[in-house]
Amino acid sequence: MTRLLIRPAAAADMEEAYVWYENRRTGLGEEFLAAVDSLLGEIRAHPTAYQVIHREARRALLRRFPYAIFYRVYAENVVVLACMHGRRDPKRWMNRT
């Protein structure tokens, strides 16, 4: 089974987004994390299903929130590099590849 490894910077991205949504409406941050968790499950089950967009990094889009998860696939691991808002400067996550 593929192991999912979340880099500390990606975990910080998720925490930052959680706090932002939770401050907008109680419970919305939890909904964001549930959406992230669901997408991470899809990525883990089908890691090559998403398009390569930069240096072997792939992008998977969340359905409800304007965020994407960027990750790389290795032999037995999927490494999550970032979880970024769609309007953020792409150089921010590209530096993590």
Alpha-carbon distance of 71 to 3, in angstroms, equals 12
| pLDDT tier for residue 94 given thresholds of 50, 70 and 90 | low
Q: What was the pLDDT predicted at 30?
A: 97
Query: Which residue ranges make up each domain of the chain?
Result: 3-94
Q: Name the CATH architecture for the domain at 3-94.
A: 2-Layer Sandwich (3.30)
Q: Determine what percent of the chain is predicted with pLDDT higher than 70.
A: 89
User: Does 73 have pLDDT greater than 70?
Assistant: yes
Amino acid code (one letter) for 78: V
Whether the Cβ atoms of residue 70 and residue 77 lie closer than 8 Å to each other: no
**Max intra-chain CA distance, the chain:** 40
User: Does 61 have pLDDT greater than 70?
Assistant: yes
Q: What was the pLDDT predicted at 39?
A: 98
**pTM of the entire predicted model:** 0.89
